[in-house]
Amino acid sequence: MVNPNFKIAAIDGSARAGVLSMQRHVLNTPTFMPVGTRGAVRTITSKDLEELGADIILGNTYHLMLRPGEDLIQEFGGIHGFVDWKRLILTDSGGYQVFSLEPDVDDDGVEFKSTYDGSLHRLTPEKAVDIQCSLGADIQMVLDVCPPIPTEKRVLEIAVDRTHKWAIRGRNHFLSKEKSFENERAQFGIVQGGLDRELRRISAEQIVDIGFDGYAIGGLSVGETRQEMIEPMRISADALPKEQPRYFMGLGDPAGLVEAIACGVDMFDCVWPTRLARHGTALTMKGRVNLGAARYAKSDDAIDPDFDLSPASRWSRGYIRHLLSVGEPVAARLLTLHNLAWIIDFMKRARASIVQGTFDDFQKETLQIWG
């Protein structure tokens, strides 16, 4: 399997510094993927993402298949052409958002109503592949079943079983189309199993047996505590092939990130840094700072005085606080740029510590501030 080409450049404990080479772009791992839900990371552009040094962004199949629809996006040359983004795009399968709508599920697939206009839609493992092919994703995710936490064991078992069966169908369908992709596209499988260690192991084995280009840990970071999350994550990661990329779906806070990196996970996405930004909160070397607070009104400090690489460093906390207090929309933009720059730099620092063999210290320092 040459697609994607993943090389591990350094290992420190279980943490890995890797290089993921796809036809369109080469990136270093661990990596963070900003989330462009509706064809844009809220408040910013593809040019901003280039300037931030983002290597890969995530698009939500659920939203894009409904608005503007995969056929229209395909006419523009896929998401890359539509949003004018030249680096990598990973799309989810749509499943996660569909399951949050409590849809009708059967062995064949899942039926749901559009949140936009109430119209009825159906997603199957094959359809999820077709849509993501139309969207032109560099990396696509197989359709899975993601139950909430907590969930009773019987329901979890059904979810793991269905995830397995759907993964076989999704993989077969992807491979039946693969020749036309000229090796530029990859498909990742997803491990489920909730917080149940045994089910995590079973699910990982089933998915690895099918053989994907990379593997994701799904169904975690959905409301459980970080402590509850770590063991099922570790079990999932340990059961995955070392030589292929591992992706934790929906994780983006620094403490969670270092714990996952420590377990050997390479790729992450989350709306957390950008959602915080839109609510007035900045990521800083000293922790979260809510710039909406009155105590920052007179502050001439930068958003994070200890972080020189912020694209918003020329504006003061006092100015941002003012923009927030009068509802100027550019406040959300500046904090989004800042938080993304901060988390992208955080991943670079994590990688550097792995290369230098000091990841342990990096993990401890991060947990002291963010744990």
Q: Are 323 and 64 a contacting pair, CB within 8 Å? A: no
| Minimum gap (Å) between residue 98 Cβ and a second copy | 18
Residue 46 or 93: the one with the smaller Cβ distance to a second copy is 46
Least gap, CB of 304 to a second copy (angstroms): 16
Burial of 154 (0-12, 13-18, 19+ CB in 10 A): exposed
Beta strands in 79-129 (DSSP E): 88-91, 104-105, 110-113, 120-123
Distance CA 212, CA 217 (A): 13
Cα Rg of the chain, angstroms = 20
Burial 208-227 (b: 16+ CB within 10 A, else e): beeebbbbbbbbbbbebebe
Contact characters 72-91, a second copy, x per CB under 8 A: x--xx-----xxx-------
Cis status of the peptide bond prior to 305, with omega within 30 of 0:
no
Among the residue ranges 62-70, 216-224, 234-242, 285-293, the one whose residues contact a second copy (CB under 8 A): 62-70
C-beta closer to a second copy: residue 118 or 329:
329
Q: Does the annotation mark 161 as catalytic?
A: no
Complex with a second copy: residue 151 or 313, whichever CB lies closer:
313
Distance in angstroms between the alpha carbons of the first and the last residue of the chain = 38
40/342 Cα distance (integer angstroms): 19
Binding segment for a second copy (CB under 8 A), chosen from 35-43, 87-95, 168-176, 200-208, is 35-43
Per-residue x/- mask for a second copy, residues 41 to 60, rule CB under 8 A?
A: -xxxxxx-------------
Segment contacting a second copy by CB under 8 A, of 69-77, 117-125, 255-263, 361-369: 69-77
Q: Shortest Cβ distance from residue 313 to a second copy (Å)?
A: 10
**Side chain identity, residue 18:** G
From 12, 48, 92, 304, active-site residue:
92
Contact flag: residue 297 with a second copy (CB under 8 A) = yes
Q: Of the two residues 36 and 264, which places its CB atom closer to a second copy in the complex?
A: 36
> Out of 144, 213, 269, 345, which one is annotated catalytic?
269
Is 178 among the residues that bind a second copy (CB under 8 A)?
Answer: no
Please tell me the count of residues contacting a second copy according to CB under 8 A. 36
- Assess 273 for contact with a second copy (CB under 8 A): no
Q: Check residue 38 for interaction with a second copy (CB under 8 A).
A: yes
Closest distance to a second copy from the beta carbon of 73 (Å): 9
Q: How far is the CB of 82 from a second copy (least distance, A)?
A: 6
Give catalytic status of residue 269 as yes or no. yes
Shortest CB 352 distance to a second copy, Å? 29
Residues 6 or more apart in contact with residue 323 via CB below 8 angstroms: 330, 331, 334
Side chain identity at residue 102, one-letter code: E
Residue 250: CB partners within 8 Å, gap ≥ 6? 96, 220, 221, 222, 269, 270
Smallest distance, a second copy to C-beta of residue 41, A: 8
Number of neighbouring beta carbons within 10 Å of residue 166 = 25
Interaction mask 305-344, a second copy, x per CB under 8 A = ---------xxx-xx--xx-xx-xxx-xxx----------
Positions marked active-site? 92, 269
| Residues at the contact surface with a second copy, assessed by CB under 8 A | 38-40, 42-47, 63, 67-68, 72, 75-76, 82-84, 297-298, 300, 314-316, 318-319, 322-323, 325-326, 328-330, 332-334
